[in-house]
Amino acid sequence: MIVTVTPNPSIDRTVTLPGALTRGAVHRVTSVTSQAGGKGVNVARALTLAGVETVAVLPAAANDPLVTALQAIAVPFRVVPTAEPARTNLTVTEPDGTTTKINEPGATLDAATVAALTDAVLEAADGADWVVMSGSLPPGVPASWYADVVARLASHPCRIAVDTSDAPLAALVGALDRGAPDLIKPNGEELASVLGLAPETLENAAAQGDPAPVVSAARRLIDRGIGAVLATLGAAGAVLVDRNGAWLATPPPITPRSTVGAGDSSLAGYVRAEVGGAVPPQRLQMAVGYGSAAAALPGTTLPTPAQIDLNAVQVSPISPIPATH
């Protein structure tokens, strides 16, 4: 079983424009969709579509539209009650795939609710293969929450993945001596920033066909205890680094329609492959297959297994592995 954790879930509302977004102008949209969202929820949705046993743990208010949306798509979930409903995030997509996101901060969680959410995660972790914790943290949740939960999960046999950014990612990396996840999934900018590098450094190098700086940065985190780093790099693909090697996956050519959920789909693909017994290069191939398929779909639509073309994803080892600096 896979447990996904979404501390800051949302209703994701996506509007599609017939042309380019112009600031200050009036636009007529061609379509509008609303779906249950938040990064961990997206992972749970993708895994459920693949037939992988999954449960989504999240805070939500009674009669929250988010709960109704999860019920409608048959994603199993466990709710920690809150006083406020989940946020609504707005995504604007343009015909060329350009995506503009406007995210609300989320419902404020008090100390008792944060403690209840922590307990729910620890309880759900019993018997789980993976605990996947994803996304931003809402008001009231300390930046150290992911790091704290990772440390408390150390006594559980499950594997742990974390996909977050900014202060929560910095806090996680700063507390690796207390507990390290088996996998993190930053993009190039997030990986650079948490190591004090210029944000564009790694993604620019990857776009120019040089994954070595990404590998070198990932190894700095692996040397500190993280099991593997899956660095997603947009159109340049993704790099996977663990203690035994490093690999680059090049995505197939697609017509991008929306990048919303692409990174979450990549994480779902990796976990799906891992629980299926795949070796690291195959996990990376599945991750990029899922991310590419998601980017080719409208709004927050997530891919089904039938939409994944693994043969179109090229994976190659990166050797020699660059030394850590």
For 109-149, the pLDDT digits (tens) are 999 999 999 999 999 999 899 999 999 999 999 999 999 99
Q: How far is CA 270 from CA 17, 120, 155, 285, in A?
A: 32, 24, 23, 8
Sketch the domain layout of the chain as residue ranges.
2-21+28-317
pLDDT classification of 291: cutoffs 50, 70, 90:
very high
> Who wins on pLDDT, 96 or 247?
247
The domain 2-21+28-317 having CATH identifier 3.40.50.720: the answer here is no
Give me 23's structure tokens. Answer: 């600031």
The secondary structure of residue 187, as a DSSP letter, is: B
Q: What is the per-residue burial (b if ≥16 Cβ within 10 Å, else e) of 129-165?
A: ebbbbbbbbbebbebbbbbbbbbbbeeeebbbbbbbb
Of 66-70, 182-186, 280-284, the range with the lowest mean pLDDT is 66-70
Question: To 10 degrees, the CA torsion angle through 75, 311, 257, 135?
Answer: 40
Give me 199's structure tokens. Answer: 């944000």
Is 60 exceeded by the pLDDT of residue 321?
Answer: no
- Predicted confidence at residue 323, as pLDDT, reads 52
Q: What is the per-residue burial (b if ≥16 Cβ within 10 Å, else e) of 63-73?
A: ebebbebbeee
Is 90 exceeded by the pLDDT of residue 252?
Answer: no
Q: How far is CA 170 from CA 44, 174, 187, 189, 200, in A?
A: 25, 6, 14, 13, 17
Most confident region among 51-60, 83-92, 293-302 by mean pLDDT:
51-60
pLDDT, tens only, 26-71: 999 998 988 899 999 999 999 999 999 999 999 999 889 999 999 9
CA-to-CA distance for 13 and 159, rounded, in angstroms? 32
Give me 60's structure tokens. Answer: 């939500």
- Predicted confidence at residue 221, as pLDDT, reads 98
Mean pLDDT of all residues in 156-162: 96
Residues acting as catalytic residues: 264
Q: What percent of the chain has pLDDT over 90?
A: 80
Mean pLDDT of all residues in 262-269: 95
Residue 210 CB contacts under 8 Å (≥ 6 apart), including other chains: none
pLDDT classification of 320: cutoffs 50, 70, 90:
low
